[in-house]
């Protein structure tokens, strides 16, 4: 948030569930909100996906923004499915004139990201038209192999090609690299790699590695400090009826973590029909194959520069 020290590279989980929100006593420990992860890096607020978890995040952001200060936010969308967008119309910074929102996302089914997002928050689907709100909004349709970065003391991001050939990790300013994958039907999704001060986080949700992960994606993930990876299904459920749904099993996630030599794996996009006890068992199974594994929970924080 606005008062987080720039020396932090902080990850906060606001929504960790897949498919649809699941509030109730059976999800109290892990949480029932859908995908939303906040990253604070170099004084910049980066948000990944706008599931129902973004609603609480939006309120917190405005609470920590000074009355005369701007609320500068970059929101990165992986793909257009409802569980990753359901919270967007209720993201309170949209209604605040202090907000400067840069929204990034892929072109899907021939539609730019603005064409995918605006109808969600305009009549007849929503009573308030996002185009009439006081916040400032800039849409960026991104593709495979791009780099989003910020110059020192600049709140406005730049988008450049050639992430695949960029050398080394960013030093003093964060950057976000993109890879597009077709492993999530029918239109694909973007995997994001966030780098800052020699550390890296990869956000890889809504992927299915039924035939193994491609080498170029392993290279993209290689040696990440934290890999946030889809692990929606148990192997039994996957083999029984979930193949081709676009989501990974725990064993798929641990295999990627092992092959890409990451330091820590976070299991993400939890199946809505699984309760907390089931997720605990899946975490235990994952640790047999990749010791440094945790199951994502709402409210969990990881500071890579602490």
* CATH number of 214's domain: 3.60.15.10
- Number of domains present in the structure of the chain: 1
Domain that holds residue 55: 9-303
Tokens of 126: 């929503």
Tokens of 94: 């949209």
Residue 199 domain flag: yes
Q: In degrees, to the nearest 5, what angle opens at C-alpha 224 toward C-alphas 220 and 228?
A: 90
Written in H, E and C, the secondary structure of the chain is CCCCCCCCEEEEEEECECCCCCCCHHHCCCCCCECEEEEEECCEEEEECCCCHHHHHHHHHHHCCCCCCCEEEEEECCCCCHHHCCCHHHCHHHHCCCEEEEEEEECECCECHHHHHHHHHCCCCCCCCHHHCCCEEEEEEECCCEEEECCCCCCCCEEEECHHHCCCCCCCCCEEEEEEECCCCCCCEEEEEEEECCEEEEEECCCCCCCCCCHHHHHHHCCCCEEEEECCECHHHHHHHHCCCCCCEHHHHHHHHHHCCCCCEEEECECCCCCHHHHHHHHHHHHHHCCCEEECCCCCEEECCC
- Sheet with 44-48, strands from edge to edge, namely 136-142, 99-106, 71-76, 44-48, 36-41, 9-15, 301-303
φ, ψ dihedrals at 192, nearest 5°: -115, 140
Residue 2 domain flag: no
Residue 209 domain flag: yes
Residue 119 domain flag: yes
pLDDT, residue 143, reads: 87
Whether residue 19 contacts residue 149, with contact meaning beta carbons closer than 8 Å, is answered with no
pLDDT, residue 6, reads: 66
Tokens of 188: 């694909």
pLDDT, residue 4, reads: 46
Closest to 248 (Cα-Cα) out of 236, 238, 262, 261: 238
Do strands 146-149 and 136-142 pair parallel, antiparallel, or not at all (unpaired)? unpaired
pLDDT in tens, the chain (306 residues): 444 456 789 999 999 999 999 999 999 999 999 999 999 998 999 999 999 999 999 999 999 999 989 999 999 999 999 999 999 999 999 999 999 999 999 999 999 999 999 999 999 999 999 999 999 999 999 989 999 999 876 778 999 986 654 545 456 789 999 999 999 888 899 999 999 999 999 999 999 998 889 999 999 999 999 999 999 999 999 999 999 999 999 999 999 999 999 999 999 999 999 999 999 999 999 999 999 999 999 999 999 998
Residue 3 domain flag: no
**125 Cβ contact list (under 8 Å, min separation 6):** 119
pLDDT, residue 184, reads: 86
CA–CA distance, 95 with 135 (Å, rounded to integer): 6
Residue 286 domain flag: yes
Residue 206 domain flag: yes
Closest to 113 (Cα-Cα) out of 146, 162, 72: 146
pLDDT, residue 226, reads: 98
pLDDT, residue 95, reads: 98
Residue 139 domain flag: yes
């Amino acid at each position: 948030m606005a008062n987080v020290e720039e020396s932090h590279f902080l990850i906060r989980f606001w929504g960790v569930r897949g498919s649809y929100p699941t509030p109730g006593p059976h999800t109290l420990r892990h949480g029932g909100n859908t995908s939303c992860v906040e990253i604070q890096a170099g004084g910049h607020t980066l948000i990944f996906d706008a599931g129902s978890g973004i609603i609480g995040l939006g309120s917190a952001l405005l609470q920590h923004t000074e009355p005369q200060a701007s609320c500068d936010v970059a929101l990165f969308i992986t793909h257009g499915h409802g569980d990753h967008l359901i919270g967007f119309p209720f993201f309170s910074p949209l209604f605040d004139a202090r907000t400067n929102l840069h929204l990034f996302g892929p072109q899907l089914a021939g539609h730019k990201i603005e064409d995918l997002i605006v109808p969600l928050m305009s009549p007849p689907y929503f009573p308030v038209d996002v185009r009439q709100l006081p916040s400032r909004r800039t849409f960026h349709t991104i593709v495979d192999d791009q780099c989003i970065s910020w110059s020192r003391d600049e709140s406005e991001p730049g988008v450049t090609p050639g992430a695949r050939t960029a050398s080394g990790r960013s030093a003093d300013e964060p950057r976000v690299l993109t890879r597009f994958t077709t492993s999530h039907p029918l239109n694909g999704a973007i995997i994001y790699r966030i780098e800052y001060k020699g550390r890296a986080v990869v956000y890889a949700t809504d992927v299915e590695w039924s035939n193994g992960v491609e080498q170029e994606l392993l290279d993209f993930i290689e040696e990440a400090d934290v890999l946030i990876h889809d692990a929606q299904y148990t192997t039994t459920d996957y083999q029984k009826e979930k193949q081709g749904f676009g989501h990974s099993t725990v064993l798929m996630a641990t295999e990627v973590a092992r092959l890409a030599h990451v330091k820590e794996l976070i299991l993400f996009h939890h199946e809505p029909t699984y309760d907390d006890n089931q997720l605990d068992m899946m975490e235990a199974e994952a640790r047999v194959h990749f010791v440094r594994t945790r199951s994502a929970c709402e409210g969990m924080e990881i500071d890579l520069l602490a």
